[in-house]
């Protein structure tokens, strides 16, 4: 298959399957895989227990670590890899901060974000995996991460709204919203091939493009 993009981002809410999809695409088509490094963040378990107390520290730490990783990995790439595919992009920092911060903290964070955001290469396409909150919660329960047990449907809904707010406020990017509520690309090879076909075999304009699978 002809990969028409040099840099692809697979985005989505917590539990949507973005890491699984990005990993398989990289393996199947010889892409350079970029995965978010979050497991060692010391603020994450604290945030889920006391979000109001640790939200600003958490978001700043993610801002720094995401910038460091992307700045390093998006520089001239591996000559033996045809393209880059990531399971997140830097915009994720603002999306989550807008759901967890407010007032002066959010305004300060937003200023810092846009200063850094302008220095990073932009993806050729953002693929957003859209799932309902109940299915997200089910996926979160299945993977069994202790610190995610306190995640609520309300929090997931806020994250989803923040993503779409970012999309609307930054229309110059190319977004492909894939509604995957009626398929299971992890368990079904047929469903996985549908996803691949929609991403790589069709052309999309800048702005929001939605496909229901």
Looking at the annotation, which residues are catalytic? Answer: 87
DSSP annotation of 50:
S
DSSP annotation of 121:
P
**C-alpha pair distances (Å), 174 with each of 23, 31, 127, 153, 165:** 21, 20, 9, 28, 15
Helix, strand, or coil (residue 13): coil
Q: Are 98 and 106 contacting, i.e. CB atoms less than 8 angstroms apart?
A: yes
Helix, strand, or coil (residue 106): helix
Of 134, 141, 148, 152, nearest to 47 by C-alpha is 148
* Tokens, residue 146: 């202790």
- Helix or strand holding residue 130 (H, E): strand 125-130
CA distance 106 to 126: 24
Tell me how crowded residue 195 is: count the other CB atoms within 10 A of its CB.
22
Q: Are 123 and 6 contacting, i.e. CB atoms less than 8 angstroms apart?
A: no
């Amino acid at each position: 298959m002809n990969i028409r993009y040099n840099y692809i981002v697979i985005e989505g809410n917590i539990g949507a399957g973005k890491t699984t999809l990005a990993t398989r695409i990289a393996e199947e088509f010889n892409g350079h895989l970029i995965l978010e490094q979050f497991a060692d963040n010391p603020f994450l378990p604290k945030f889920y227990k006391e979000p109001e107390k640790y939200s600003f520290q958490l978001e700043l730490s993610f801002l720094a670590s995401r910038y460091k990783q992307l700045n390093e990995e998006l520089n001239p790439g591996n000559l033996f890899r045809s393209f880059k595919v990531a399971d997140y992009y830097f915009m994720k920092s603002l999306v989550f901060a807008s759901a967890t911060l407010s007032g002066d903290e959010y305004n300060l964070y937003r200023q810092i974000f846009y200063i850094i955001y302008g220095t990073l290469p932009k993806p050729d396409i953002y693929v957003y995996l859209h799932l309902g909150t109940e299915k997200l919660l089910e996926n979160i329960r299945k993977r069994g991460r202790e610190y995610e047990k306190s995640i609520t449907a309300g929090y997931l809904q806020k994250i989803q709204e923040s993503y779409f707010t970012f999309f609307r406020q930054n229309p110059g990017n190319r977004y492909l919203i894939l509604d995957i509520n009626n398929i299971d690309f992890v368990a079904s090879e047929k469903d996985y091939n549908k996803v691949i076909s929609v991403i790589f075999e069709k052309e999309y304009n800048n702005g929001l493009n939605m496909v229901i699978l």
